[in-house]
Amino acid sequence: MAKKDFYEVLGVNRDASDDEIKKAYRKLAMKHHPDRNPDNPKSEEQFKEAKEAYEILSDAPKRAAYDQYGHAGVDPQAGMGAGAAGGGFADAFGDIFGDIFGGGRGGSGGRSNVYRGADLRYNLEISLEDAARGSETRIRIPTMEECEICSGSGAKPGTEPKSCPTCGGHGQVRMQQGFFSLQQTCPKCHGTGRFIPTPCTTCHGAGRIKQQKTLSVKIPAGIDEGDRIRLSGEGEPGVNGGPSGDLYVQIHLKEHAVFQRDHDDLHCEMPIGFAIAALGGEIEIPTLDGMARLKIPAETQSGKVFRLRGKGIKGIRSVGRGDLMCHVVVETPVNLTERQRELLKEFEEINLKDAGHHNPRAKGWMDKVKEFFG
C-alpha cells in the first residue's frame, strides 16, 4: 500500500515552518494517542503515521531528502544493492557522498541520476460566488514532456548515448591538488556519465520538449484567499524515470462589487435615506442566496451594523456558515427641489429649539470641545 504524503498526514503546507510542523504534530498526538483511545485501533495507526511524519519533517536533512525524492529519499531499504544493480536511491546521492568522502561508485556503465521533478505553482483568480459554492474550471499550463522522437534519450533515432570519455562513465573526475585528491562532477557530462554524440534534432539532446497541457481543477466550496489545491504528479516530470513533482493551484479572490469577505463572514454597505433612519422601516439587502428583508429600527445612526446570521459562507474547515454584516450608511439627499429645501429649513428651525434632545451625539461632542478649550 502506498504511503500517505507526510505533509498531508500532519495537515500542513510544504513550506510550513518547524514551529507549524511541531504544533500540528502535538495536536494530532494528543488526539490519537493510544492511551486516550484504548478501544480504537485506528487511532493507534494514525498516531504512528503522525509520529513517522514528524520524525522526517522535523529533521532538516531528512526533510530535504523527502522533498526531493519522496518516500524513497527516507526509506533505508531504497539504497540496498545499488552498487551492484546500478540504480536506486543511493545513486542520487552519489555526488554528495563522492565529494565528501573522496570516493565514488566503482565499475563502469555510467550513473543513473534519478531526480524528482520540481513542484510548480499556478495562480488562479476566481469569483466570490465560485469560492462560496464550489466549481470546476480548466487551466492551461506549460510543461516539459518527453520527446516522442527520441523517447526521452536525447539521441537522434538510430543512435544512442555513449559513455563519457572524460570520466569513463562514472560521472565524476578526480583532481590532484598537492597532497589532496579531490573528486568533482564531470564538466563534460555534468554527472550523468554519458554524452550524446548525435543529438535529437527535435529536442536538441534535452530529451524533453516544451508543450501546453490542459488540466481540470475542482474548487471545493468554501475555499478562501491564499488556499492551495494540490494536483499530485502534475508538476515538472522527473529526470531519468524519477517521479513528477506536484502542481499547487494558489487561489486568489476577485474583488466583489457588493461584498467583502472576512474568513466565513461577509460584509456589505447599505445606504439608507435619513427619513428611514429616523422613522424606521424595512429595506431589502442582497445576500449570496438572493434578496433578504432587514428591519431598520427608528433613530438608527450611520455606521450601525446589523448581523444576518447564517448568510455568510461555510468555509472548508468550518462546521456552520458565517454571518452577513450589513453596515448602514445614512445618505444625505442631493439634487433637492425647492420644496424639499423649504421643508428641510423648517425642520432645522424646529430642531434647533431643542437640539440637545434631538441631537444627543452632537451636543455631547460640543460639550467636550468646550471643556477642551477651558
Q: Kindly report the CA angle at 47 between 44 and 51, in degrees rounded to 5?
A: 140
How many Å apart are CA 58 and CA 6, to the nearest integer? 11
| Domain-wise residue ranges, the chain | 1-76, 118-152+205-254, 260-372
- Greater confidence (129 vs 67) lies with 129
- Residue 370: its pLDDT value, please? 62
How many Å apart are CA 14 and CA 67, to the nearest integer? 8
- Residue 128: its pLDDT value, please? 92
Confidence bin at 84 (pLDDT 50/70/90) = very low
How many Å apart are CA 328 and CA 303, to the nearest integer? 5
The gap from C-alpha 82 to its chain's centroid, in whole angstroms, comes to 36
Among residues 123, 155, 133, 149, the alpha carbon closest in space to that of 248 is found at: 123
Under 8 Å between Cβ of 29 and 51: yes
Strands 265-273 and 324-331: parallel
User: At which residue does the C-alpha cell 422601516 appear?
Assistant: 281
Dihedral angle computed from the Cα positions of residues 19, 23, 26 and 28, in that order, rounded to the nearest 10 degrees: -130
**In b/e form, how buried is each residue of 77-112, taking b as 16+ CB within 10 angstroms?**
ebbeebeeeebbbbbbbbbeebeeeeebbeeeebbb
Which tens digits make up the pLDDT trace of 1-52? 567 888 888 998 888 888 888 888 888 888 888 777 877 888 888 888 888 8
- Residue 324: its pLDDT value, please? 92
Under 8 Å between Cβ of 34 and 53: no
Among residues 28, 261, 309, the alpha carbon closest in space to that of 129 is found at: 261
- Greater confidence (215 vs 351) lies with 215
* Domain over 1-76 is classified CATH 1.10.287.110: yes
- Residue 356: its pLDDT value, please? 52
How many Å apart are CA 119 and CA 140, to the nearest integer? 16
CATH number of 260-372: 2.60.260.20
- Residue 357: its pLDDT value, please? 54
Which tens digits make up the pLDDT trace of 296-354? 898 888 888 999 999 999 988 888 899 999 998 888 888 889 998 888 888 877 777 66
Domains 1-76 and 118-152+205-254 share a fold: no
How many Å apart are CA 25 and CA 9, to the nearest integer? 9
Among residues 56, 61, 76, the alpha carbon closest in space to that of 12 is found at: 56
- Greater confidence (352 vs 224) lies with 224
Confidence bin at 220 (pLDDT 50/70/90) = very high
In the predicted model, what is the mean pLDDT of residues 130-147? 86
pLDDT above 50 for 181: yes
CATH number of 118-152+205-254: 2.60.260.20
In the predicted model, what is the mean pLDDT of residues 280-296? 89
Assessment of whether the complete model's pTM goes beyond 0.75: no
Q: Kindly report the CA angle at 233 between 228 and 239, in degrees rounded to 5?
A: 130
Query: Which helix (H) or strand (E) segment is 180 a member of?
Result: strand 180-185
How many Å apart are CA 246 and CA 120, to the nearest integer? 6
- Dmax over CA atoms of the chain, in Å, equals 106
Average pLDDT for the chain: 78
